């Protein structure tokens, strides 16, 4: 499930915004009032959930709070609970009008601006942080991951730091922007008016630009206009993805050409088609240690080997879920999958997986099951009656 990358929304005051894992363009980047690092290197242990790195922080009697750092968002989004705890009366937001965001379908989302007194991540403190209150994105991401997400931290929050996603060691590192430490790997410049990490990459001999989007659990999201990507498999209909503007069906497949990021190569990556800006998501970024240097407009990729990355097949049970402790609600069913043949429908409730209550299945354990099990037995609740259905796990994209 992808949270929000497919949301194309028009803002009255600017251009457009994609929430939770996507880029929004502004005339001026939101800026924290002050960034303080109490150590020359701040190490933030992270929990790797799928292709996301989720960090936990606690600095007073409230919390702990869970955050996802989203390099694809120029806005920090927080839950109403977090905003109530740390929001302040401030000229930057006091009396400011709500932001009305309208989709092409006419649906409207109202986001209230807020200034946060403090966000503290270990030994890194950010004060007077401009943000928006976005209950929907936080709730959707929480339901997807099975962990309560209190905030989605946008890229500009880290403008005064070197921000490193150390995926192999499951941690995020922060260092002063003025650090002169030599970084191993390949440095690629990004320079655009929105100060977003948009870099040139290549498919075979064709160069295009792509957003580096740590807030996406996809591999490659590609806009085919003018690019003419060649697919070795698909694209086919994939998961039904729930977004703020409605449900969308993925068109997903495997390219028959390599993707090059600097001197690193991803052989025949899995990609899904998009109408938005092309993006490289966490399923590719997780193969690297990635450092973002906003002061010098560059990003550095490092990997222990220069051997091509060979993506594994995408396996699926044919169902995506919105999760709660008591049950998992079916959010979408892959067309022509064993789940569709078994007449599983959106809205169905699952109470057990392989005979165990769903509360025992955290994100990692369930992903491991899908990766290796030939079949999975789901217990569905229809009224007061429970029914078991054994569904074959298949290769959505070989």
Q: What is the pLDDT of residues 331-379, one digit of tens each?
A: 889 999 999 999 999 999 999 999 999 999 998 999 999 999 999 999 9
The pLDDT assigned to 248 comes to: 66
* Domain co-membership, 197 together with 161: no
* Domain co-membership, 156 together with 221: no
The pLDDT assigned to 22 comes to: 34
> pTM higher than 0.75 for the full model?
yes
* Domain co-membership, 21 together with 149: yes
* Domain co-membership, 202 together with 138: no
CATH code (residue 324):
2.30.42.10
The closest alpha carbon to 302, from 265, 268, 264, belongs to 264
| Domain-ending residue, one of 264, 285, 306 | 285
For 282, how many CA atoms within 13 A lie in the half-sphere containing its CB? 27
The pLDDT assigned to 281 comes to: 96
The pLDDT assigned to 375 comes to: 98
* Domain co-membership, 14 together with 106: yes
What is the domain extent for residue 157?
9-176
Residue with tokens 């960090």: 55
Q: Quick one: average pLDDT of 257-263?
A: 97
Domain membership flag for residue 18: yes
| Domain-ending residue, one of 176, 198, 233 | 176
Per-residue pLDDT band for 28 (boundaries 50, 70, 90) equals very low
Per-residue pLDDT band for 183 (boundaries 50, 70, 90) equals confident
Span 115-161, pLDDT tens digits: 999 999 999 999 999 999 999 889 888 888 889 999 999 999 999 99
Say if residues 90 and 128 touch (Cβ distance below 8 Å). Answer: yes
pLDDT at 109 over 80: no
Domain membership flag for residue 331: yes
The closest alpha carbon to 36, from 155, 131, 177, belongs to 177
63 vs 86: CA distance, rounded Å: 12
CATH code (residue 36):
2.40.70.10
197 vs 63: CA distance, rounded Å: 31
* Domain co-membership, 265 together with 336: no
* Domain co-membership, 19 together with 168: yes
Which tops the pLDDT comparison, 100 or 296? 296
Average predicted confidence (pLDDT) for the chain: 86
223 vs 190: CA distance, rounded Å: 19
Domains held by the chain: number: 3
Q: Quick one: average pLDDT of 233-258?
A: 78
The pLDDT assigned to 95 comes to: 54
The β-bridge partners of 164 are: 173, 291
* Domain co-membership, 278 together with 146: no
* Domain co-membership, 17 together with 122: yes
Per-residue pLDDT band for 44 (boundaries 50, 70, 90) equals very high
Percentage of residues in the chain having pLDDT higher than 70 = 84
The pLDDT assigned to 194 comes to: 75
The pLDDT assigned to 192 comes to: 75
Q: Quick one: average pLDDT of 92-108?
A: 54
| Domain-ending residue, one of 156, 176, 196 | 176
pLDDT at 65 over 80: yes
Of the listed ranges 2-6, 56-60, 101-105, 167-171, the one predicted with least confidence: 2-6
Per-residue pLDDT band for 324 (boundaries 50, 70, 90) equals confident
331 vs 139: CA distance, rounded Å: 14
* 156 contact partners, CB below 8 Å, separation of at least 6: 29, 30, 31, 32, 74, 76, 195, 294
The pLDDT assigned to 240 comes to: 63
pLDDT at 169 over 60: yes
Say if residues 16 and 9 touch (Cβ distance below 8 Å). Answer: yes
* Domain co-membership, 106 together with 162: yes
* Domain co-membership, 139 together with 196: no
């Amino acid at each position: 499930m992808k949270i929000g990358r497919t949301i194309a929304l028009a803002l009255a005051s600017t251009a457009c915004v994609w929430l939770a894992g996507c880029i929004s363009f502004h005339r001026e980047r939101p800026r924290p009032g002050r960034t303080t690092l109490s150590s020359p290197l701040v190490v933030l242990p992270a929990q790797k959930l799928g292709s996301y790195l989720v960090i936990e922080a606690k600095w007073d009697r409230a919390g702990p709070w869970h955050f996802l750092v989203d390099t694809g968002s120029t806005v920090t989004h927080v839950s109403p609970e977090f905003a109530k705890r740390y929001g302040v009366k401030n000229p930057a937001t006091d009396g400011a009008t709500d932001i009305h965001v309208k989709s092409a379908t006419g649906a409207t989302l109202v986001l209230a601006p807020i200034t946060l007194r403090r966000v503290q991540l270990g030994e890194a403190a950010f004060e007077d942080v401009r943000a928006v209150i976005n209950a929907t994105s936080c709730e959707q991401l929480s339901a997807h991951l099975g962990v309560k997400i209190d905030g989605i931290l946008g890229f500009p929050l880290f403008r005064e730091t070197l921000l490193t996603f150390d995926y192999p060691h499951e941690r995020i590192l922060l260092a002063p922007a003025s650090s002169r430490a030599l970084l191993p790997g390949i440095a690629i410049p990004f320079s655009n008016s929105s100060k977003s990490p948009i870099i040139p990459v290549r498919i075979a001999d064709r160069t295009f630009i792509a957003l580096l989007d740590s807030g996406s659990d996809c591999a490659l999201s590609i806009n085919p206009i003018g690019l003419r990507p060649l697919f070795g498999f698909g694209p086919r209909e994939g998961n039904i993805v729930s977004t703020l503007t409605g449900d969308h069906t993925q068109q997903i497949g495997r390219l028959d050409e390599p993707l090059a990021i600097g001197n690193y190569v991803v052989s025949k990556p899995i990609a899904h088609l998009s109408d938005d800006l092309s993006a490289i998501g966490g399923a590719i970024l997780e193969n690297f240690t990635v450092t973002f240097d906003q002061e010098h407009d560059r990003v550095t990729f490092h990997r222990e080997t220069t051997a091509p990355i060979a993506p594994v097949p995408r396996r699926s049970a044919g169902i995506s879920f919105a999760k709660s402790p008591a049950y998992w609600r079916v959010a979408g069913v892959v067309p022509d999958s064993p789940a569709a043949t078994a007449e599983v429908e959106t809205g169905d409730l699952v109470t057990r997986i392989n005979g165990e209550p769903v509360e025992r299945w955290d994100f990692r354990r369930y992903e491991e099951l899908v990766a290796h099990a030939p079949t999975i037995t789901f217990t569905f609740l229809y009224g007061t009656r429970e029914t078991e259905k054994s569904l074959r796990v298949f290769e959505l994209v070989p």
